[in-house]
Chain A
Amino acid sequence: MSAVEAVFVLLSLVALGSALLVVTTSNLVHAALWLVVTLGAVAGLYLVLAAEFVAWVQVLIYVGAVVVLLLFALMLTRAPTGHTDDLTVRRALPAAIVAGLVALLLAVTVVAGFSDVRIDLDETVVGSAETTGRTVFTMWVLPFEVLSVLLLAALVGAIALSKREAT
C-alpha cells in the first residue's frame, strides 16, 4: 500500500467514525462539531482523489457556511446544551435495520461491480481552480446560471419564510 492509499484509509476511518458519532451522540452541539470533523475528513478525501477545487469549496461552504447555519438553527430553536436524553427515537432498531440493509446493498453492488477497476492517481488531471473554472464556464455554464437563480430563489424563500408576522 502506497502512502496515498494509507492516507486515504486513515481519512476514511476518521470520516466514518465521526459520522457515526454525529448520528449517535446525545449532545446536540457535539453532533454539529462531529459533523465538522466529518466534512473536513471528506474534504481530505477529495484532495487525495485530486479534486482540489472541490475540496476547498467543501471546506468553505460546508464547514464554513452550512455548519454555521446549523449551529445558528440550534441556537434559535433553544437547543439544550449538554447531554439530552431523547435525541434518538426509543426504538431505533428498525432504522438501524434499514440503514444496515442499504449499506449491505450498496456495498455488495459496488464491490461486486467494480472489484477489478483501479484509479490511476498518477494520470489524473488535478482539479485545480483553473481547470475547474474553465470547464464550468465553458461547458457547464447553463447549469451554473440556473444554479445561481436557484440560490437566489432559496435566499428569497428563506427570507420570506422566516419573516415575522407584523403583530
Chain B
Amino acid sequence: MSTLVLVMLVVPFGTAAVTLAVGHLSDRTAKAVSVGGSGLGLVLAWVVALSHLGEAEPLQHVYASTATVGPAIELAQYVDPLSAVLLLLATTVAFLVQVYSLGYLEHDPRYPSYAALVSVFTGAMATVVTADDLWVLLIGWELMGACSYFLIAHHWELGDARAGAVKAFLLTRTADLGLLFAIFVLGERYDSYRISTIVTAVAGSAPQVDELALPAVLLIVAAMGKSAQVPFHTWLPDAMPGPTPISALIHAATMVAAGVFLIARMYPLFEATPLSLTLLALVSAVTMFLAALYALFSDDLKRVLAWSTVSQLAYMFGALSAGAWSAAVLQLLAHGVFKALLFLAAGSVVHAIGGATSMDAMGGLRRRLPTTFATMTLGFGALVGVVPLVGFFTKDAVVHAAYVEAADGRVVWPWIAWLLVGSMVVTAAMTAAYSLRAWLLVFFGPEPAGARIEPVPGVMTWPLVVLAVPTVLGGLAATNPDFLGPGHDEPLSVATSVLLTLVVLVTGVLVLTAWRRRGRDLWRTVPVPHPTVDLAWRELLVRPVGRLALLARANDRDVIEAYVDGAAASARALGWLLRRSQTGSIRLYLTVVVVGATAVAVAAGALG
C-alpha cells in the first residue's frame, strides 16, 4: 500500500513531464496525456483514500532518511482519514478541472504548460496531505504556491494577471516564513520533524503554554497567508485574472484549504495553546465579516466568488478555534465541492458571453444556459445554506459549535467567542444577500444589449453536473461523519438551524423586494476603497523588496557588467594604443627598423 501511495504521488509529476515533452506535437496528444494522467492519478487516489477512511489503521511509512546536524529529515508518509478525504477532494476536483479545461482552453496555444502545471499542482497537494515529515509538507506547500503563481499569470500579456500573480506569491511567501520558523522551533523542541511524533508528544504531555505558543502562532500565520485571512486577505480577489478553472481548483477547493488542513493536522498543538485559538477566532471573526462586506459591493462575478471564498474559509477557521474539528473538516469538504461548482459555472457563463467577468455584461441567461443555471443555483443554495443542500448541514454544525464554545467557554476568551458567533450569523445574512444578488444579476432581468451568447460545450457542463451531485446529496455524509474516524460525531442543533434559516429567508425577502423595486441597481454601491492593508503591505513588503531588486540590478549592471565591459574596453584601448604606431609613414618604419637593428646589435655585442 505504501508503494501505491508513492506511485500515486509520482504519477502527477510524471504526467506533467510527459505533457511538456510531447504536448507540442498536437492538440490531441497534449489533451490525451494530461486528462489520462489525471484520471490515472484519480483512480489511484480513490483506491488509497477509500482504504483509509473511518476505522482503518492510518498508514505510516518512511521511505528514506537523511542524517543532518539536528533531527533527521525523512521522506515519511502518513495517511489517515483526514488525508484520505482531502485526497478525494483534491484529485476529483483536479480531474474535473482538467476535463473542463478541454473546453475552456480549447484554442489556447499555451495549453501544454497549463495542463502540466495543473498536474504538478495536483501532485504537490497530494504531497502536502500525505506528508508526515514537516519538510516534505513544506516542499509541497511551496510547490503549490509556485504553481499558483505560474497559473495566475497564464495570460501573462495582461498586466492584471502579472500583478496578481506577483501579489499572491509575495504575500503567501511572506506568510510561509511562519511555517519555516515553526518547523525550526518544533524540530528543536521535539527533536524530530515528524508530524506524528510531534503530535503524539504534545498530546501526551501537559500543556506548556509558553513553549508551544510560538510555533502555534507561527503556524497560524502561515495558514492565514495561504488561506487569505486578514491581514493577508487581499491576494485572493486579485488572483482572479487567472483562468477560471484555476480559480476553481486552486483558489477555492484545494490550495486555500491547505491552511485549514495544516491546522487540522496539527490540532493537538493548538488545543494545548488557548492563546493561539483565541487569535484564530479573532482573525476569522474579522475576516468573514470584512470579506462578505466586500462581496456585497463587488460588480465582478469572480471577485464576488473570491471574497465569498475568503469568508467561508474564515468559517472553517472559526470552527477550528471553537474546538469543532470535524465541523471544520466537513465545511472544508463541502465548500470545496460547491465553490468549485460555482467557479466552474461562472467560467461557463464568462465563456458564453465572450470573456467579460463584470456582472454588468450579464443578465437573463437562464434561458440560454439551462444546465449552468440549474447547477449554479444549487451551488449558491449550498453557499447560502439552504436545506437540504450540503452547505446547510455544515454551516449549521459550525455555528452551533461556535455557540457552544461561547456559552461554555472552554478555550477561547469569552467576548471573542461571542464576537465570533455574532459575526457568523451576520455573515450568513450577508452571504445570502450577495449570493442572491449575483444569482439575480446573472440569470434574471433583461439580456445585455448586443450580446453574442455562445453555447457551452459539453465538456464544460458535464463536470458541473458531477459536482452538483455531492452538493445535493452531501448532507447524508455530513450528518454521519464516521468516515472521518472514530469518535467524530457532530450533533446538529435544531435551534441553530431554525435561526439560520430564518436569517436567510428574511434577507432573501429584503433582497427580492429591492430587486422588484429597483431592478439591477439593488443597493447604492459604496465605493470600496483600496484595502488599507494593501497600503501597509506596500510600504512594509513591496517597497523594500523593490529596493533590494534595484540593488541587485545595480550590482549586476555596475559591478559585474563593469568588469565585463571593462575587459572589452581595455582591449579596445590597448588596440587604440597599438594603432598609434600604424602611421603609414615609411620613414617611421625605416627608422624603427634601423634603430631596432642597432639595438639588437648592441645587445648581441653586450651579451655575447
Assess whether B591 is in contact with A101, with CB atoms less than 8 Å apart.
no
Q: What separation, in Å, do the CA atoms of A98 and B605 have in the docked complex?
A: 19
Return the CB mask of B559-596 against A: 1 if under 8 Å, else 0: 00000000000000000000000000001000100110
Query: Which residues from B are CB-within-8-Å of A94?
Result: 591
Nearest B residue to A113 via CB reads B605
Q: Does B32 contact A (CB under 8 A)?
A: no
Q: What separation, in Å, do the CA atoms of A98 and B587 have in the docked complex?
A: 12
The 4 closest A-B pairs by CB, nearest first: A102-B598, A98-B594, A98-B595, A105-B598
Return the CB mask of A48-65 against B: 1 if under 8 Å, else 0: 000000000000000000
**What's the minimum C-beta distance from A163 to chain B, rounded to whole angstroms?**
24
Query: Which residues from B are CB-within-8-Å of A101?
Result: 598
List which A80-95 residues lie within 8 A (CB) of chain B. 89, 94-95
Q: Which of B587, B594, B605 contacts A102 (CB 8 A)?
A: B594
A-B contact count (CB 8 A): 13
Q: What separation, in Å, do the CA atoms of A105 and B591 have in the docked complex?
A: 16
Query: Which residues from B are CB-within-8-Å of A95?
Result: 591
Q: Given contacts A98-B594, A98-B595, are A105 and B587 in contact (CB under 8 A)?
A: no
Chain A residues near B (Cβ < 8 Å): 89, 94-95, 98, 101-102, 105, 109
Number of interface residues of B (CB under 8 A): 8
Q: What separation, in Å, do the CA atoms of A124 and B587 have in the docked complex?
A: 42
Query: Which residues from B are CB-within-8-Å of A109?
Result: 605
4 new A-B pairs (CB below 8 Å) besides A95-B591, A101-B598? A94-B591, A98-B595, A102-B598, A105-B598
Assess whether A98 is in contact with B601, with CB atoms less than 8 Å apart.
no
Q: Does B602 contact A (CB under 8 A)?
A: yes
Chain B residues near A (Cβ < 8 Å): 587, 591, 594-595, 598, 601-602, 605
Q: What separation, in Å, do the CA atoms of A110 and B594 have in the docked complex?
A: 18
Query: Which residues from A are CB-within-8-Å of B598?
Result: 101-102, 105
Assess whether A89 is in contact with B587, with CB atoms less than 8 Å apart.
yes
Q: What separation, in Å, do the CA atoms of A107 and B388 have in the docked complex?
A: 125
Query: Would you give 6 A-B contacts (Cβ < 8 Å), ordered by A?
Result: A94-B591, A98-B594, A101-B598, A102-B594, A105-B601, A105-B602
Q: What separation, in Å, do the CA atoms of A7 and B602 have in the docked complex?
A: 33
Query: Which residues from A are CB-within-8-Å of B595?
Result: 98
Query: Which residues from B are CB-within-8-Å of A102?
Result: 594, 598
Q: What separation, in Å, do the CA atoms of A94 and B588 have in the docked complex?
A: 11
Q: What separation, in Å, do the CA atoms of A89 and B586 have in the docked complex?
A: 13
**What's the minimum C-beta distance from B605 to chain A, rounded to whole angstroms?**
7
Q: What separation, in Å, do the CA atoms of A95 and B592 have in the docked complex?
A: 11
Query: Which residues from A are CB-within-8-Å of B602?
Result: 105
